[in-house]
Amino acid sequence: MLHRCPSALLATLSAALLVASSSREAAALEPGPAVRVDPSFGPRVAAAVADAARRLEAPSCALVLSDFQDSQTGLTLAESLAATGRTASEHVESLWFRGASRLRPFAGRRVFAFTMPASTVVYLCREDLLRIQNQPRLLTAIVLHEVLHTLGLRDDHPSSVAITERVLERCF
């Protein structure tokens, strides 16, 4: 299953994330965990991936991994991750975030990023993602959403909106 982030969700996410304090946004741009992001996306996307890894180290955010199940095993994402012997931040650092300029999985819909359950690659949709690059918390929420899919969460149950709402609730 591919992930999509409908454009109707953009306004809701933007409003929820604009509440951020400037100090938190500045902290998101500080050097952090090593991440593997297509360099053509620039430092803000890499900073969002590093911020996602840092946020998952916080117990309150890590709870999001217990909220969803791996579509193949039925285990929670936290249990699936524990079975790998890696921490959540190590898992994020193991992923590849690559450009998907020619891939348009949902014609006519705004797509920020997508992956498949249990994949190690998250595809970033340049045009849509770069439009929101000045919204670091929104970028981080999108990355966290995709990280859940890389741990085995399917895109269609629960809905994309429900997944992102839970990420916002637990991690921001």
Q: pLDDT of 120-136, one tens digit each?
A: 999 999 888 888 989 99
The CATH fold of domain 7-14+33-171: Collagenase (Catalytic Domain) (3.40.390)
pLDDT for residue 10: 45
Q: Based on C-alpha coordinates, what's the Rg of the chain?
A: 14
* Identity of the amino acid at 161: V
Q: Enter the pTM of the model.
A: 0.80
3-state secondary structure of 134: coil
pLDDT tier at 102, thresholds 50, 70, 90 = low
Amino acid (one-letter) located at 51 = D
Instruction: Determine the Cα–Cα distance for residues 77 and 68; give it in Å rounded to an integer.
Output: 6
pLDDT in tens, 5-41: 444 444 444 444 433 333 444 444 444 556 789 998 8
Please state the domain extents for the chain: 7-14+33-171
Those residues whose C-beta lies under 8 Å from the C-beta of residue 165, and which sit 6 or more positions away, are none
Element spanning 142, H or E? helix 136-150
Q: Is the model more confident about 133 or about 68?
A: 68
